A and B are shown apart, each in its own frame.
Chain A
Amino acid sequence: MTEMTFADAVREGLAEEMRRDPLVWALGEDLSTAHGGTSANQYLGLIDEFGPKRIVNTPISENTIMGAAVGAAVAGTRPVADLRMADFGMCAVDELVNQAAKIRYMFGGQARVPLVVRQAIGMRKGGAAQHSQSTEAWYVHTPGLVVVAPGTPADGRGLLKSAIRADDPVVYMEHKDLWVSKGDVPDDEGLVPIGVAKTLRQGTDLTIVSWSKMAQLSNDAAEALAKDGASVEVIDLRTLWPWDKAAVYASIKKTGRLLVAQEAVQVGGFAAEIMADVTENCAGDLKTHARRIGAPRMPVPYAEPMENEYRVTTERVIAKARETLDA
Chain B
Amino acid sequence: MNQTTARENKPAHIFELYQTMCLIRAFEEKAEIAFDDGFINGSIHQYIGQEAVGTGVCQNLRASDYILSNHRGHGHSIAKGANPEAMMKELMGRVGGTSGAKGGSMHIADFSVGMLGANGVLADGLTMGVGAAQAITLKGEDNIVAVFVGDGTTNRGPFYEALNWAMVYELPILFVCENNTYASSTLTRSVTAGEGPVARAKAFGMPASDVDGNDIVAVDELAADLIARVRSGGGPHFLHARTYRVKGHISRDKLLYRRDGETSENWENEPLGRCAGWLAENGFDESELRTAHSAAYARIDAAVESAKAAPFPDAALAYVDVQDFGPPEPWTKEGGAS
Residues of B within 8 A of A79 (CB): 131, 134
Q: Are B164 and A61 in contact (CB under 8 A)?
A: yes
3 pairs of A and B residues whose beta carbons are closest in the complex: A67-B127, A71-B131, A242-B326
Q: Are A77 and B161 in contact (CB under 8 A)?
A: no
Residues of B within 8 A of A168 (CB): 323-325
Quick check: which of B19-27, B96-104, B302-310 contacts chain A, the rest being far away?
Answer: B96-104
A76 in contact with B135 given A104-B323, A105-B322 (CB within 8 Å): yes
Q: How far does the Cβ of B83 sit from chain A's closest Cβ, in whole Å?
A: 13
A2 within 8 A of B: no
B230 within 8 A of A: no
Q: Are A107 and B109 in contact (CB under 8 A)?
A: yes
Residues of A within 8 A of B218 (CB): none
Residues of B within 8 A of A111 (CB): 111, 116
Residues of B within 8 A of A53 (CB): 137-138
Q: How far is the CA of A35 from the CA of B248 in the complex (A)?
A: 53
Q: How far is the CA of A174 from the CA of B98 in the complex (A)?
A: 38
Q: How far is the CA of A73 from the CA of B103 in the complex (A)?
A: 20
Q: How far does the Cβ of A140 sit from chain B's closest Cβ, in whole Å?
A: 9
A137 within 8 A of B: no
Q: How far does the Cβ of A119 sit from chain B's closest Cβ, in whole Å?
A: 17
Q: Which residues of A contact B (CB under 8 A)?
A: 23, 25, 27, 53-54, 56, 58-59, 61, 63-64, 66-77, 79, 94-95, 98-99, 103-111, 143-146, 166-168, 194-195, 241-242, 277, 280
**How many CB-defined contacts (below 8 Å) exist between A and B?**
156
A68 in contact with B323 given A63-B161, A107-B99 (CB within 8 Å): no
Q: How far is the CA of A180 from the CA of B59 in the complex (A)?
A: 54
Q: Are B325 and A67 in contact (CB under 8 A)?
A: no
Residues of B within 8 A of A73 (CB): 131
A59 in contact with B325 given A77-B138, A99-B128, A280-B336 (CB within 8 Å): no
Q: Closest A residue to B100 by CB, please name it.
A: A108
B127 interface neighbour in A68, A76, A144, Cβ under 8 Å = A68
Residues of B within 8 A of A76 (CB): 135, 139
A105 interface neighbour in B102, B110, B136, B137, Cβ under 8 Å = B102
Q: Are B132 and A72 in contact (CB under 8 A)?
A: yes
